[in-house]
């Protein structure tokens, strides 16, 4: 980096550090994430300084994009476990003959609901629920992004729940 660009970057840092930190803090609401995002935004701005016409605009855009990415990663992390679709809640652990029959019926209904899903959605759902693979593993295996896997799982949950509600006549 040439000396004038370096001086301009130092000036940008001094003039916008507090404003950028406040901006990012409002977006992510986490001091740790704020620090990481601000640092990464400055680094990206510094690395691209030769191509950037308006460094301050680039800096804030980079910070916004990093905050959005952080939010998405956090959302995936939170939804990565399917607590509301845990098979242990579907299959009864009763030892009685009635309990075994109910368990079989529930399992059969769940299989029917999953069979109604589109092929890729069904495959993602099966890999997640029955085999316990992460979104990233499923994405690699199916040749799709983790975000697409997340969308397939969300759709599978929604459609499976709808199927079961309709089957039991619930609203």
Tell me the per-residue pLDDT of 103-154, one tens digit each, with 9 for 90 and over.
677 777 778 888 888 988 888 888 887 778 888 989 998 899 989 999 988 9
What is the widest separation between alpha-carbon atoms in the chain?
82
Q: What's this model's pTM, rounded to 2 decimal places?
A: 0.46
Q: Where among 28, 55, 79 does a domain terminate?
A: 79
Q: Tell me which residue of 129, 130, 128, 131 sits closest to 139, measured CA to CA.
A: 128
Assess whether 11 and 75 both reside in one domain: yes
Q: Where among 48, 79, 110 does a domain terminate?
A: 79
Contact call for residues 142 and 123 (beta carbons, < 8 A)? yes
For residue 27, name the pLDDT band (cuts at 50, 70, 90): confident
The total number of residues written for the chain in this structure: 171
In terms of pLDDT, which residue wins out, 105 or 92?
105
pLDDT of amino acid 20: 92
Tell me the per-residue pLDDT of 2-19, one tens digit each, with 9 for 90 and over.
555 778 888 888 899 999
pLDDT of amino acid 37: 92
CA 170 – CA 162 distance, rounded (Å): 9
CA 14 – CA 59 distance, rounded (Å): 13
Assess whether 63 and 114 both reside in one domain: no
Assess whether 90 and 146 both reside in one domain: yes
Taking only Cα atoms into account, the Rg of the chain, rounded to an integer number of angstroms, comes to: 24
Assess whether 24 and 75 both reside in one domain: yes
Full residue range of the structural domain in which residue 24 is found = 3-79
Domain containing residue 65: CATH number = 1.10.1740.10
pLDDT of amino acid 86: 47
Calculate what percentage of the chain has a pLDDT beyond 90. 21
Assess whether 143 and 111 both reside in one domain: yes
Tell me the per-residue pLDDT of 31-88, one tens digit each, with 9 for 90 and over.
888 999 999 999 998 888 888 888 999 999 999 989 888 877 776 665 554 444 544 4
Sign of the torsion formed by the C-alpha atoms of 141, 142, 147 and 150: negative
Contact call for residues 117 and 156 (beta carbons, < 8 A)? yes
């Amino acid at each position: 980096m040439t000396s004038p660009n370096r001086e301009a970057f130092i000036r940008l840092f001094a003039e916008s550090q507090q404003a950028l930190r406040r901006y990012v803090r409002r977006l992510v609401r986490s001091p740790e994430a704020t620090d990481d995002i601000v640092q990464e935004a400055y680094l990206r701005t510094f690395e691209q300084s030769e191509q950037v016409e308006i460094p301050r605009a680039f800096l804030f855009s980079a910070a916004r994009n990093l905050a959005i990415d952080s939010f998405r990663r956090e959302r995936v992390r939170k939804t990565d476990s399917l607590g509301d679709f845990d098979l242990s809640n579907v299959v009864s652990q009763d030892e009685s003959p009635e309990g075994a029959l109910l368990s079989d019926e529930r399992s059969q209904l769940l299989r029917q609901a999953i069979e109604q899903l589109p092929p890729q959605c069904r495959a993602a759902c099966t890999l997640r629920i029955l085999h316990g693979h992460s979104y990233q593993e499923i994405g690699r295996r199916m040749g799709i992004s983790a975000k697409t896997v997340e969308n397939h799982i969300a759709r599978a949950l929604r459609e499976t729940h709808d199927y079961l509600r309709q089957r039991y006549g619930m609203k």
